Structure 1
Amino acid sequence: MKLNKEQWSWVFYDWANSGYGIIVTTAVLPIYFKGVAESSGVAAANATAYWGYANSFGTLLVAILAPFLGALADYQGYKKRLLTGFASLGMVMTLGLALLPSSQWQWLLFIYVLSILGYSGGNLFYDSFLTDVSDDRQMDRLSSVGYGFGYLGGVIAFLLFMVLEFTNGFGRLSSLAVARWGFVLAAVWWLIFYIPFQRHVHQRHALAATAAPLRQSWHRVWQTILQLRQHKYLAWFLVAYFCYIDGVDTIFTMATSIGLDIGINSTTLIMVLLVVQLVAFPFSIFYGWLAGKTSTRTGILVAIVVYLLICMDALNLKSTMDFWILAVLVGTSQGGIQALSRSYFGRLVPKQRSSEFFGFYNILGKFSAVLGPILVGVVTQMTGQSRIGAASLSILFVLGLIIFLMIPRTAMDKS
């Protein structure tokens, strides 16, 4: 599949915010936060739990707003405007992380929650643009390429950060200052690579403009809820997605904190995360190829099974080598399950109302991400062992697998 300029520009938004995903959410801020919190007298297990609760609260805000924002974005001219607004919020709040005093761990979590709102809100509109830049035949490959290049962009941004990390800012920065410059790097990376999207990507499918878009959006959301049974396969897919994406997002957001709890040092964690990103790049594209050779359904089932095995093996998570093995397994399927879920859903939705329906897709994904970190946090505090908290996520993958298997193979033909 050969991508045109508009499709490449769409792909590069995933590249753009990938710096935030790996530097802020995964690699640097969790370690930075735990160091700040523990230096203020917060116990390690509690710091891990607070990190989970902050992720849950941030995604809850997006989940509450997602259906309404999606419905609003379906009107001509609104989708890109809303994406720009939320992306700008994410960029500014990411810069804000660099400006806070290191002793203010509570404010650090607050600014982080706002950055999640910008990042996740922007991704809602970015995902729904998939129906504007591709047709049904292209969706698996384009969605997979988007995730794949997103991981590659994250690797490059991460390598730039590692230059600062291992040289201590060329001998001029403390470890805290290096972390802060990492936040600046993530924000600038996001801004620069958003420019192609802003210039070349356009909303193709839209509803006619209305004099009262806010009121009409609320009305449409309510009507869609009442009529959701008319889209029964779409509704069942959302339930399955709610279950399995919970585990995917939770593993991503909690991995660094769990690694620290079993005694892995921050330098090793950074190397592990870099390898995961490198593995995810080709495997994301591989899942698009697999879906083309078999089906989107098969690709999703394979990824769910891989994640189920990861959770079950987490009970044996005791050493650095165990963590390496599980991390590489995550890298093989993290991008694939997200990419194929997005394209599977994109085929099911009415194209002119794609943002509204992706709002429901987003709300279920975000609500699942609210429950997952809380589950890990509670189980970790009850048992005192992060690996048991991680293993508890296997329940969600089993539920997702069972429900997805109940959806007939012909669901997309009947939607």
Structure 2
Amino acid sequence: MTILTEPSPMPQPVTLPPAARRRIWGWWMFDWASQPYNTLLLTFIFGPYVNELLGDGTAAQTAWGYGIGAAGLLIALLAPILGAIADRSGKRMPFIWLFSVMYVVGAAGLWLAVPGDFNLVVILCFFAIGLIGMEFATIFTNALLPSLGPRDQLGRISGSGWAFGYLGGFVALVIMLLLLAENAVTGKTLIGIDPILGLNAQMREGTRAVGPLAATWYALFMIPFFLWVRETRQPDALPMGRAVATALPELIGHLKALPQDRSLFAYLGSSMFYRDALNGMYVFGGIYAAGVLGWSVVDVGIFGILAVLTGALFAWIGGRADSRFGPKPVITLNVLTLTLVALGIVFVSRDSVFGIPTGPESSLPDIAFYILGAVIGASGGALQSASRTMLVRQAHPDRITEGFGLYALAGKATSFIAPLLIGVTTQLSGNQQMGIAPLIGLFLIGLVLLLWVDPTGREETET
């Protein structure tokens, strides 16, 4: 029931052979390759662009909430089943290939978001295909984490990988802002030039290129992953057909027994709520800034650079803290921080900041939201890195992919709740600020459930 634990002795870096180090670098490349979907598409470029196309922040936030919520529901239903199949067959790479293709196709299809000829349903379908591909590919690559090093080094490995991914998102975002994404009024990029490659600013081709850029980025930087990461052979692996036939009945049995595994059950419940709230911040941060503060795509992009840089730094720092103190104190501290940030966001608008009235020319609302964004990036990076190492501690070692599937289920079973709550609250209140308020409650629920999580995890308690 305790939140904090006594720090363990400082783990010493382990010298790994070149092949093992190359395998870790290959695993890190997935974070680098996949991050632009979160950075460019979910948060800082494409989301605000949809807001501009619809011309109504409330309508954009509502539609975005419903679309992403539907994709999350599909991920929740399939993730544990596919994870169980992968564990029994001993094959994760074929799944990673399949979902990588979905990532590329879905991202590339966003090019079709043409001003004046914009079919929101088609675009949301492409976005969902790419999002599903990204989420499922993440499940299967995360399941490789326990095989990358000793237990006391996994926090460092996870944190460094998450930081590396944030840096990849940062580089992709800089490319977009400097060379491609045009201002809706001037048609110029952040450095005052026309979009490169002869892209038509009037047709917003520079901003629409965010989809093809994310697709190309992923395809290019996944090459080292597929070259350097190899699965270890499992002597008890089943043929794929038998794995498929037996996975669902065994998974049902494991789900029935899950409440008896109090620590894992509590952790899945806790992460279900706090990760959903965090994703709500990421998904709606750009749309919120565009609708409430009147920011352009370029303004939101600058905000994104700050958040991504703090995310990279604190994911790296959090990984060191994870290896030193364990993941639970890192998770607790960052959930508390994000709860306060969510509360703060509700009180930031163009007219006032935390109850202090501001004039139409005041920069105080912008500065306040920049600061909040930096904290979201910092806490979000450390929280997500520590969360996946905590799952490694809690899950059954021989069912690690199923464990990450349940982790995805925990994250996605309610992933429609935050977007739908935001969408419904925004629609009913007609106010984007009030629409963010449900995130506060989700963070608090996650924090309470964390009390029942054993910080030492399964391996130490069962040996």
Tell me if both proteins adopt one fold, taking TM over 0.5 as the criterion: yes
Please, what TM-score do these two structures have when normalized by structure 1? 0.94
Larger CA deviation: 388-397 vs 331-340:
388-397
CA distance in 1, matches of 2:386, 2:251: 25
- 1:212 corresponding residue in structure 2: 242
CA distance in 2, matches of 1:131, 1:409: 17
- 2:50 corresponding residue in structure 1: 33
Q: In the alignment, does 2:198 pair up with 1:172? A: yes
CA distance in 1, matches of 2:456, 2:173: 42
CA distance in 2, matches of 1:408, 1:118: 32
CA distance in 2, matches of 1:229, 1:403: 13
Would the aligned equivalents of 1:93 and 1:114 in 2 still touch at CA under 8 Å?
Answer: yes
Would the aligned equivalents of 2:345 and 2:433 in 1 still touch at CA under 8 Å?
Answer: yes
Q: Residue 327 of structure 1: which of 355, 359, 373 is its match?
A: 373
* Partner secondary structure for residue 209 of structure 1: coil
| Alignment deviations for residues 241-298 of structure 1 (CA, whole Å, 9 cap, x no partner) | 1111111111011111111111223221110011111111111011111223323211
CA distance in 2, matches of 1:414, 1:129: 22
Larger CA deviation: 17-26 vs 142-151:
17-26
CA distance in 1, matches of 2:339, 2:229: 37
- 1:181 corresponding residue in structure 2: 209
Larger CA deviation: 316-325 vs 166-175:
166-175
* Partner secondary structure for residue 311 of structure 1: helix
| Alignment deviations for residues 119-165 of structure 1 (CA, whole Å, 9 cap, x no partner) | 11111111111122233212111111111000000011111112223
Q: Which has the larger radius of gyration?
A: 2
Would the aligned equivalents of 1:205 and 1:351 in 2 still touch at CA under 8 Å?
Answer: no
Q: Residue 258 of structure 1: which of 258, 266, 288 is its match?
A: 288
Would the aligned equivalents of 1:304 and 1:401 in 2 still touch at CA under 8 Å?
Answer: yes
User: Residue type matched to 2:346 in 1?
Assistant: L
Alignment of 1:16-415 (within 5 A): 16-38=33-55, 43-99=56-112, 101-102=114-115, 103=117, 104-162=119-177, 163-165=179-181, 166=189, 167-170=193-196, 172-175=198-201, 176-204=204-232, 206=234, 207-210=236-239, 211-262=241-292, 263-318=294-349, 319-412=365-458, 413-414=460-461
Larger CA deviation: 330-339 vs 380-389:
380-389
Larger CA deviation: 74-83 vs 116-125:
74-83
Would the aligned equivalents of 2:195 and 2:206 in 1 still touch at CA under 8 Å?
Answer: yes
- 2:355 corresponding residue in structure 1: none
* Partner secondary structure for residue 232 of structure 2: coil
Would the aligned equivalents of 1:59 and 1:120 in 2 still touch at CA under 8 Å?
Answer: no
Relative to structure 1, is the Cα distance of residues 36 and 265 closer, same or farther in structure 2, using a 3 angstrom cutoff? closer
Relative to structure 1, is the Cα distance of residues 409 and 198 closer, same or farther in structure 2, using a 3 angstrom cutoff? closer
CA distance in 2, matches of 1:75, 1:132: 17
What fraction of aligned residue pairs are identical, expressed as a percent? Answer: 25
Larger CA deviation: 65-74 vs 263-272:
263-272
User: Residue type matched to 2:138 in 1?
Assistant: N
CA distance in 1, matches of 2:39, 2:113: 20
Structure 1 residue 349: deviation in Å?
A: 1.4
Segments of structure 1 that go 5 or more residues without pairing to the other structure are none
- 2:354 corresponding residue in structure 1: none
User: Residue type matched to 1:66 in 2?
Assistant: A
User: Residue type matched to 1:93 in 2?
Assistant: G
CA distance in 2, matches of 1:81, 1:199: 14
User: Residue type matched to 1:32 in 2?
Assistant: Y
Would the aligned equivalents of 2:393 and 2:456 in 1 still touch at CA under 8 Å?
Answer: no
CA distance in 1, matches of 2:419, 2:149: 34
User: Residue type matched to 1:110 in 2?
Assistant: C
Structure 1 residue 367: deviation in Å?
A: 2.1
Higher helix share: 1
- 1:5 corresponding residue in structure 2: 22
* Partner secondary structure for residue 78 of structure 1: coil
Please, what TM-score do these two structures have when normalized by structure 2? 0.85
User: Residue type matched to 1:357 in 2?
Assistant: G
Larger CA deviation: 133-142 vs 107-116:
133-142
User: Residue type matched to 1:20 in 2?
Assistant: Y
RMSD (Å), alpha carbons: 1.8
